[in-house]
Amino acid sequence: MSSSAPSSAVPASARSAGPTSAELLDFVRRTAADTALITSLPLDPEGRTWVRLDGPGGSEAWLIGWPPGTGTGWHDHAESVGAFLTAAGALKENSLAARLPTDGWKTLELSDGVDRARLLTAGEGRAFGRNHVHEVLNESPSEHAVSVHAYYPPLPRIRRYSRTGDVLRLESVERPEDWQ
């Protein structure tokens, strides 16, 4: 296609691609290296704390503090790609290495071998694609963890799940107005 083609001839996805998950990982890595920012986050012994950051290219970004023993529960970030990196302490990510249907189900029986677990210590992170189902935990009995997260497009919704053995159940769908 020539550069003189009208913008309507270019697919919408090409016109507004936004940052990739790799670019978001680079952003969270650089942000986590900002010691003054990381240590400025107020930490609460009872619950997670967070501060919204300016992410690259219109992305949504967060600095999050995790008290000992806290976690997110199973969830996904719908159509957003993302990345997160542990800036202090350690976080465990449990995830599913399987493409799940995005809509039209309430309960799924998971196949053997789809579970993945990784421990991400300070300076370690990961990028992920759309509809990535995971939970993030601070399993330390005594130490806070701090992490940096970025998503693009900004989170349109989060689907929350419960899990019992091999059964994953869709529990709720949250939208940005639910987080205000």
75 is an annotated ligand-binding site residue? yes
Residue 101 DSSP SS3: coil
Which residues touch 11 (CB under 8 Å, ≥6 apart)?
Answer: none
77 is an annotated ligand-binding site residue? yes
Amino acid identity for residue 136 in this structure: V
The answer to whether residues 87 and 148 touch, using CB atoms and an 8 Å cutoff, is: yes
- The radius of gyration of the chain's CA atoms, rounded to the nearest angstrom, is 18
DSSP string, 32-71: HT-HHHHHHS---SSS-EEEEEE-GGG-EEEEEEE-TT-B
144 is an annotated ligand-binding site residue? no
Annotated binding site for Fe cation: 75, 77, 134
Q: Which residues are annotated as a binding site?
A: 75, 77, 134
